[in-house]
Amino acid sequence: MHIDLILDKIYKLPEDSRNSIVQAIAENHFSKGHRLLNADKIERNIYFIKKGIVRAYINSSNDEVTFWFGSEGDTIVSMKSYVNGLKGYENVELLEDSILYKLNVNALNNLFNKDIHVANWGRRFAELELLKTEERLIARQFTTATVRYNELIENNPKLFQRVQLSYIASYLGITQVSLSRIRAKMK
Q: Global pTM?
A: 0.93
The span from the CA of 3 to the CA of 49, in Å, is: 9
Per-residue model confidence as pLDDT tens digits over 42-79: 999 999 999 999 999 999 888 899 999 999 999 999 99
The span from the CA of 68 to the CA of 124, in Å, is: 20
According to the model, what pLDDT value does residue 187 have? 74
According to the model, what pLDDT value does residue 132 have? 92
| Helices of type H across the chain | 3-10, 15-23, 79-84, 105-114, 116-142, 145-155, 159-162, 165-172, 176-186
